[in-house]
Amino acid sequence: MSRQKIVLAYSGGLDTSVLVRILREDYGYDVVCCHADVGEARDPEKIRERAMKAGAIACEVVSAQDEFAKDYCFPAMQANALYQGVYPLSAALSRPLIARHLVQAARKHGATAVAHGSTGKGNDQVRFDLAVQGLAPDLKIVAPQREKNITRDEAMAYAEKYGIEVPTTKKSPFSIDENLWGRSIEGGILEDPAQEGPEEAFAWTKSWKDAPDEPGYLKIGFERGVPVTVNGEPMPPAALIRKVGEVAGRHGVGRIDLMEDRVVGIKSRETYECPAAVTLITAHRDLERFTTLGHSLRVKALLDQKYAELIYEGFWFSPLRRALQAFNDEHEKTVTGEVTLRLFKGSLHVVGRTSPYGVYNRALSSYGREDAFDHRASEGFIKLVGLPLQLFSRLHAGGTEPA
Ligand code: ARG
């Protein structure tokens, strides 16, 4: 009988290389590796070579940067998506995209299962599993790391035994996950919530000390809630994110230190640098405030929080996420214009905005001579708004205050 095939989410690192062998030897599968490039700057040829050396029968390397930017990062930005009000969900957003490509590769190769290297105590396992369930409920999901809890030393020993190439890059004391939308840094000294993250943990953002002594400015142009220009220059999605990230990072913008609640109930200290995400969300939110109405903004703020939770908790491929996206697509129709931001030693401020749809009317809001607002209309307005309050106060001798 021929062996069944499994598609493994393959990063090119030691851990997933060892998994190729484990899936082959211990689980009895033919292993197809699948790597979706979401902007972590690794060499695709090298990845393919390493997968084959580790014992894969095939390796799919997909360039997915623009897909990630356009179909995942920008929709999240439209929802101003920040988990617990702070984290732009960079790691969380990449998992459904990777899962989508796993499923595609599984179909192409006639595989019956998919595998990933997530541990049993993180969020990523939840995101992989739920995304695969949402897309292809027939596929079996295998997570050897979750089942066996393989330590770093065991992985090294395994690599040696089977002649698996160990990446030559010097081992960082941190566990890193990175893509266009941000970089997550965990482990080592960062596990002590009392300690400030050391400078060596950061790679994309300057410390305030090393940031320029002069402020920098960025002008981001949006069309229907999608960023399309930087300082007037049109840019495709991934390039735009990279450009904004470079400028923001140089000014030390986007460092995040969050006491975070994981899906599996663990409270953990998480460190991120998300210069592009933080900058784009800040700009986007400002343009929404300028071009849409207060009552829809208040409803959207509630839905935005739910949208962020869905991403965090792994429900990207769900009817609710799609329904919220449909709301946003409608809501974003007027979110067109330009936002100017000032960046200075880690701080980020919106300092100006323009839009053909700005609801702002200077003659109405002005305290100057151009005032066009009908002041007397307010009297009747307040009378009606206060009517129930008046009725109540008349009924109760002491008014609304206890006697
Ligand atoms: N706490 C973050 C999240 O849940 C970071 C996860 C990083 N993943 C990783 N495999 N290092 O989104």
Cα angle value 54/122/67 (rounded, 5°): 70
Every domain of the chain with CATH number 3.90.1260.10 lies at 175-354
Mutate to test the pocket of ligand 1, among 72, 172, 186 (most ligand atoms within 8 A of CB): 186
Annotated active-site residue 365? The verdict is: no
Summarize pLDDT for 84-124 with one digit per residue, the tens: 999 999 999 999 999 999 999 999 999 999 999 999 999 99
- The residue among 56, 59, 51, 4 whose CA lies nearest residue 29 is 4
**Residue predicted with more confidence, 42 or 265:** 265
The confidence score (pLDDT) of residue 164 equals: 85
Quick one: which H or E segment has residue 113? strand 113-115
Query: How far is ligand 1, taken at its centre, from the CA of residue 84, in Å?
Result: 14
Q: Is the pLDDT of residue 173 over 70?
A: yes
User: 91 CB under 6 A from ligand 1?
Assistant: yes
Query: How far is ligand 1, taken at its centre, from the CA of residue 58, in Å?
Result: 27
Distance between CA atoms of residues 183 and 86, nearest Å: 14
* Cα 216 to chain centroid, rounded: 24
Q: Kindly state the average pLDDT of the residues 247-258.
A: 98
Which residues have CB under 8 Å from 139's CB, separation 6+? 103, 106, 111, 112, 113, 114, 132
Summarize pLDDT for 52-93 with one digit per residue, the tens: 999 999 999 999 999 999 999 999 999 999 999 999 999 999
User: 124 CB under 6 A from ligand 1?
Assistant: yes
The confidence score (pLDDT) of residue 81 equals: 98
Every domain of the chain with CATH number 3.40.50.620 lies at 5-162
- The residue among 78, 71, 68, 73 whose CA lies nearest residue 222 is 78
Distance between CA atoms of residues 346 and 249, nearest Å: 9
273: exposed, middle or buried (Cβ count in 10 Å: 0-12, 13-18, 19+): buried
Domain 175-354, classified CATH 3.90.1260.10, yes or no = yes
The confidence score (pLDDT) of residue 400 equals: 67
Minimum CA distance residue for ligand 1 atom 10: 177
Minimum CA distance residue for ligand 1 atom 8: 177
Query: How far is ligand 1, taken at its centre, from the CA of residue 92, in Å?
Result: 7
Distance between CA atoms of residues 95 and 311, nearest Å: 10
Distance between CA atoms of residues 320 and 310, nearest Å: 8
Q: Which of 21, 50, 95, 146 is catalytic?
A: 95
The confidence score (pLDDT) of residue 107 equals: 98
Q: Which of 124, 129, 177, 286 is catalytic?
A: 124
Cα angle value 42/96/151 (rounded, 5°): 60
Packed helices 152-162 and 14-25: angle between N→C axes, nearest 10 degrees = 60
Query: How far is ligand 1, taken at its centre, from the CA of residue 235, in Å?
Result: 29
Grade residue 398 by pLDDT with cuts at 50, 70 and 90.
low
Summarize pLDDT for 255-284 with one digit per residue, the tens: 999 999 999 999 999 999 999 999 999 999
Both structure tokens of 64: 């997915």
Q: Is the pLDDT of residue 167 over 80?
A: no
Grade residue 40 by pLDDT with cuts at 50, 70 and 90.
confident
Q: Is the pLDDT of residue 170 over 60?
A: no
| Residue type, position 289, single letter | R
Atom number, ligand 1, closest to the C-alpha of residue 262: 4
The confidence score (pLDDT) of residue 51 equals: 96
The confidence score (pLDDT) of residue 326 equals: 98
The confidence score (pLDDT) of residue 169 equals: 56
Mutate to test the pocket of ligand 1, among 123, 130, 152, 256 (most ligand atoms within 8 A of CB): 123
Summarize pLDDT for 222-243 with one digit per residue, the tens: 999 999 999 999 999 999 999 9
Q: Which residue has the tokens 């009552």?
A: 295
Q: Tell me how far CA of residue 13 lies from CA of 129, 155, 164, 182, in angstroms.
A: 21, 11, 11, 19
pTM of structure: 0.96
User: 178 CB under 6 A from ligand 1?
Assistant: no
The confidence score (pLDDT) of residue 171 equals: 66
Summarize pLDDT for 332-382 with one digit per residue, the tens: 999 999 999 999 999 999 999 999 999 999 999 999 888 999 999 999 999
Fold of the 5-162 domain: Rossmann fold (3.40.50)
| Residue type, position 204, single letter | W
- The residue among 268, 282, 274 whose CA lies nearest residue 203 is 274
Query: How far is ligand 1, taken at its centre, from the CA of residue 79, in Å?
Result: 20
Annotated active-site residue 43? The verdict is: no
Contacts for 50-54 with beta carbons within 8 Å, 24 or more apart? 50/12, 50/17, 50/165, 51/10, 51/12, 51/17, 51/20, 53/163, 53/164, 53/165, 54/17, 54/18, 54/20, 54/21, 54/162, 54/164, 54/165
Minimum CA distance residue for ligand 1 atom 4: 123
The confidence score (pLDDT) of residue 397 equals: 73
| Mean pLDDT across the chain | 95
Which residues have CB under 8 Å from 232's CB, separation 6+? 219, 221
Distance between CA atoms of residues 274 and 172, nearest Å: 19
Which residues have CB under 8 Å from 3's CB, separation 6+? 28, 29, 30
